[in-house]
Chain A
Amino acid sequence: MADPMRIRAQAAGGNATVRVLMNHEMETGQRKDAAGKTIPAWHITDVTASHNGKPVLSAEWGPAVAKNPFLQFTVKGAKAGDKIAVTWKDNRGETRTDEAVVAA
């Protein structure tokens, strides 16, 4: 299965800035392989994040998001020790969730 996401959550001024680096090919479906066949699209379609179990972010992505996607967002009112979980789901139905704790 995919490698784990790298999540760094940093508390700053009453909020937490969360940076996520996901591992995913994000194939656009535009490329052709050596034989000339189109490589099918394979990309993350949905991303959600939660703060201490409460959903705080959802996003829908198309194939144009870069390979090994980077995402940064800021959760309001998050403090050190809080849990941030990020989940992605791709167009093959595969999914992955990783968690991190907000650092001071």
Chain B
Amino acid sequence: MQSRRAILQHSTAVAGLLAATGLFPREAFAWNAAAFDGKTIADVMKAFGSSAPAESKAVTLTAPDIAENGAVVPFVLATTLPNVKQLLLLVEKNPNTLVAKFDVSDAVEPNFSTRAKMGQSSDVYAVAITSDGKAHFAKKEVKVTLGGCGG
């Protein structure tokens, strides 16, 4: 069993290593408030400096047809497009449309699963933004029987 000191030393070393990579600049933690405040799909896309998205079979959004509990709706966003920079999850009728943004790097597959809250039945969009600034989406209507925003 490691001593407390050893564990602390190890954690500090790991933190030091991560900081030393220099790849955690302040900008990375500047949360994109403009995008997350967007109230419509158009607002969010504008905040990302991207054109209106075009529907694409190369983007997939897996979600239940009916969400039993709007507080926890599972989604899988994926794309087979090359040069994808970001994958976004948007719920059209939520108070704030943008749920999550994933930065796609070469080290991960452009495939993410998470769970989100939906206030009411709504169209949900998975949007892939490629390095040329174009946006491609897949959309699915998800019905919600019990809204998830607690209101």
**Shortest CB–CB separation between residue A19 and chain B, in angstroms?**
8
Tell me whether B32 is interfacial, beta carbon within 8 Å.
yes
Contact of A66 with B96 at beta-carbon distance under 8 Å, contacts A28-B150, A60-B36 already known: no
Contacts of A23 in B (CB 8 A): none
Could you say which of A15, A28, A55, A72 contacts B114, with CB atoms under 8 Å apart? A72
Dominant SS among interface residues on chain A: strand
Residues of chain B from 66 to 106 with CB closer than 8 A to chain A in the complex: 71-74, 91, 94-96, 98-103, 105-106
Please name the residue on chain B nearest to A95 by beta carbon: B29
Q: Bound complex: CA of A72 vs CA of B109, how far in Å? A: 11
Show 19 residue pairs from A and B whose CB-CB distance is below 8 angstroms, ordered by the A residue: A15-B109, A28-B150, A45-B29, A53-B14, A57-B105, A61-B100, A61-B101, A62-B99, A62-B100, A64-B96, A65-B116, A72-B112, A73-B102, A73-B109, A73-B113, A74-B111, A85-B18, A97-B14, A97-B15
| Interface residue ranges, A against B (CB under 8 Å) | 15, 26, 28, 30-32, 45-46, 48, 50-51, 53-67, 69-77, 85, 87, 89, 91, 97, 99
- 12 further A-B contacts with Cβ under 8 Å, apart from A66-B72, A74-B109, are A28-B117, A30-B95, A31-B149, A53-B14, A55-B105, A59-B102, A61-B100, A64-B91, A72-B114, A73-B109, A85-B14, A97-B18
